[in-house]
Structure 1
Amino acid sequence: MTATDHALELVAVAAQAAHDKKADQVLAFDVSEQIAITDAFVLASATNERMVGAIVDEVEDKLRDAGAKPIRREGHREGRWVLLDYGEIVIHVQHEEERMFYALERLWSDCPVIPLTLT
């Protein structure tokens, strides 16, 4: 099983929104073979808590414009690692220190990378 076309569309919207707000290291993984409850992860990082918040706000705005509604949002108050759960996709926006420490891309390295075209 691979990520659905709709999930891939949401990944593209979320990744572009993060990129537009100057997120670092924007990556996406197709985790549909490993996790039954979601199709894809989007990872992005920022150098400070304000940037994490700005990236999260932009991602939420663009996904709302695309008709997606979040199921859950965690970590926004601390601004170090925010998780946005949209069912089909999950977005992780992390402070660069958390990104290095938890190394989610290493955890999911056996999953296919979703190619992103960020402009």
Structure 2
Amino acid sequence: MSATEHATCLAIAAARAAADKKAEHLAAIDVSERLGLTDVFLLASGANDRHVHAIVDAVDEAMHRAGAKRRTREGFADAHWVLVDYGDVVVHVLQNEDREFYSLERLWKDCPAIELPADLAHGGSRDGDSLGGRETTAS
């Protein structure tokens, strides 16, 4: 079993909204075979709490327009790691330092990456592999 086409399309819509707010280190991971709760994790990084808030708000708006209903949102007040659950897609927006510390890409390294469109490639790993090499963009 792999992520549904619907979940993949939602993840790309969320990634596009995040990229529009200059999110960094965008990565989509197909967790459908490991988790029964969701198909895709979308990971994004922001520079500070305001940046994380802007990214989350933009993603929320895009997902609403796409017909996805937000089930829950955690961590918005502190804005170090915000998790937003849309059912088929769970969006994680972390500040850069928290993203490196928690290293979600390493935790889910056995799950396949979902290729994101090349135009969503904003920034990259600062040291080339600090985020586990999981950033996924088209060639």
* Same fold flag (TM > 0.5): yes
Residue by residue over 1:45-88, the C-alpha shift from the partner in whole angstroms, topping out at 9 and shown as x without a partner, is 01111000000000000111111110000000001110000110
Give 2:95's aligned residue.
95
Q: How does 1:6-85 map to 2 (within 5 A)?
A: 6-85=6-85
Q: Distance in 2 between matches of 1:19 and 1:4?
A: 22
Q: Which stretches of structure 1, 4 residues or longer, exceed 2 Å deviation after superposition? A: none
Residue identity in the other structure for 1:22: K
Displacement of 1:38 in angstroms is: 0.5
TM-score, scaled to structure 2:
0.84
Q: How does 1:108-119 map to 2 (within 5 A)?
A: 108-119=108-119
Q: Distance in 1 between matches of 2:94 and 2:23?
A: 10
Unaligned runs of 5+ in 2: 120-139
Unaligned runs of 5+ in 1: none
Residue identity in the other structure for 2:10: L
> Tell me, what secondary structure is at the counterpart of 1:100?
helix
Number of aligned residues: 119
Question: Contact 1:19 / 1:118 at 8 angstroms: preserved in 2?
Answer: no
Q: Distance in 1 between matches of 2:72 and 2:2?
A: 23
Residue by residue over 1:19-41, the C-alpha shift from the partner in whole angstroms, topping out at 9 and shown as x without a partner, is 11000100000000110110010
- Distance verdict in 2 for CA 1:92–1:51, change over 3 Å: same
